[in-house]
Structures are given as structure tokens and as C-alpha cells.
Amino acid sequence: MNAIRTTMLLAALTALFMALGFTIGGMGGAMIALLVAAGMNLFTFWNADSIVLRMHGAREVDAASCPEFVGLVHGLARRANLPMPRVYVIDSDHPNAFATGRDPAHAAVAATTGLLAILDRDEIEGVMAHELAHVRNRDTLIMTMTATIAGAISMLANFGLFFGGGRDRDGGQVLATILAVFVAPFAAMIVQMAISRHREYGADRGGAEISGKPRALASALAKLANAAARIPSPVVRTNPAASALYIVPGSGRDSMFSTHPATENRIAELEAIADEMGLLTAAPRPAVVAHSSVPKSRPRTQKRVSALDPTRRN
């Protein structure tokens, strides 16, 4: 079912791309759009991981340069019965993480230094388990491809007048311009939103099962949403479609156009999962406050995991 849903969603985005091309440039525009969409699908399939990692300026780390973080990911991958993914760190104050790659054998996971600085070990483990659940569910390819095609649709809309230059200058041309500038990007956003929201709930459940710590993941989501609201992603500012890749929205705010479910709803689901798993130990329910500050004082447990920060010098 996941493969069928993926195929249908990619077909919908490709059809949308063709429809926009037809609206702007007639049958010739539709054929150009089809060729471009096919080329993008093939290119993105083979290069999804390098596209995203280069976009974020990620640097690869290993057991020598970042032993605790890489060791944590290795342990989770073993528990998830997955090949060890490549591990990357992004030098950014924006706190977030994502996974990419066309399949589990070519997967990569990345976290920002901002995330590693504000979460404790259990929370980091919950976040990386969530990302490995995306890998196990084979979400990473479709999320990257969808973000790429959605961005291309917006780009094509911006060049609407160029593609429509040969058409009659009448009311139809005005309508084509309106559709290109407003309707097509909106439709691409809706399709992208439908993909991401469904898969985030699945990755939350998978991450809870892999780590065995659903409440730690819930706590991490609350902290990340709060901090991301204060420190938006610089990548999302220039490429909004990239927000679909992250564990929390790149702006830290949920809206009707968000690529993620509301953070408080995800936390509630994780609390229910904890009850299902029989984890009845008391744990504070994290409140999501969009603009709350991260406390200056670090919890005592944070000292045990400071080596997870790749900027730390031994």
C-alpha cells in the first residue's frame, strides 16, 4: 500500500506539472513539462541524498570525529535491523534533523548542532529513531522527490509569461498567468502536505518502537518546536519545500499549509503509544509554546551526553 500511495502521489505531482505546462504553453508546454518531470524524477532518484545534504552544507562524521553520536545511531540501526546509514552534522543554530537517500542501503541521517545542544541523550535517541523509521518505511525518497518537484512547479509558475509568450494575448492568457502564479503552487503544497502528514505519524510510531522511549521523543518534539520558532531554518527561507524533510517544521510553526501535523497532536499520539507499550512511569507532559525560551540552565543528565556535540574538543 505504501508503494501504491507513493506512485499515485508522484503521478499526481507529475500531472500537475504537465497541466501547468499546458495552461501556459499549450500542448508543447505540456510535453516540455512531462520531459522535465521525467528527468527530475530520474535525477532525484539517484541523487536524492547528495541534493539534500549539499543544500544544507552537511558534513559527514564518523566514529573517530563524533564517537557518541555515531555510536548512538549505530545502536539504533542495529535495533531497527537496518544497514548503518551515513551520519552527518549541520553547523546551524536551527534545531532539526532529517533522513534522506533512495533506500535503506543508501540512506543518510543528519542533525544540526542546534539540536544536539538542546536535547539530552534520550531525546536525541528518540529523534534519530524517528529518522531511521523514515528510512525503514522508505519515506526518504518520496519526501525528497516531492520537495524537488513541488519546488520546480513553483519555479515554472514564475516563468509563466516566458512559456506563454507564443499564445494569444487575450483573456485566456490572463487566466493562464493567474493559474500559474497562484493555483499551481497551492496545489503542489496540498499534495506535499498530504504526503508528509501521513508519514510523520508513522515515523513517530516507528521511532517509539525502535528506541523504546516514546515520551523522550515527545519531549524532544516540544523542545524542537519551541526553539525552531525562535530560530527558523535558513534553508527553508529560500526553499520552503525543504521543510517537509524535517522532524518539525522549519519555521517551528504549524499552519493549515504545514507539512507536519500539529506538534501537540503528535505528542498526544506518543503518549498513547507509551500507554500501549506499558510505559506507565510518570513523565511530565511537555507543553508546546511557540515562542518559549530554552532554559539557560542545563539538566544534570545533559552532562553525560555533551560528547554528542561534534563541536566538543576531547
List the chain domain ranges. Answer: 11-293
CA atoms lying within 13 Å on the CB side of residue 154: 15
Average pLDDT over residues 273-297: 54
List pLDDT tens digits, range 10-39: 777 777 777 777 776 778 777 887 887 778
Selection from 98, 110, 55, 97 nearest residue 234 by Cα? 55
What is the pTM assigned to this prediction? 0.75
Q: Is 200 within any annotated ligand binding site?
A: yes
Active site residues per annotation: 131
Q: Is 134 within any annotated ligand binding site?
A: yes
List pLDDT tens digits, range 198-247: 889 999 999 999 999 999 999 999 999 999 999 999 988 877 777 888 99
Quote the CA–CA distance of 123 and 126 in Å, as a whole number: 5
- Grid cell at residue 186: 497551492
Q: What is the pLDDT of residue 171?
A: 52
**Rg of the chain, C-alpha, whole Å:** 21
Phi, psi (degrees; rounded to nearest 5) at 108: -145, 145
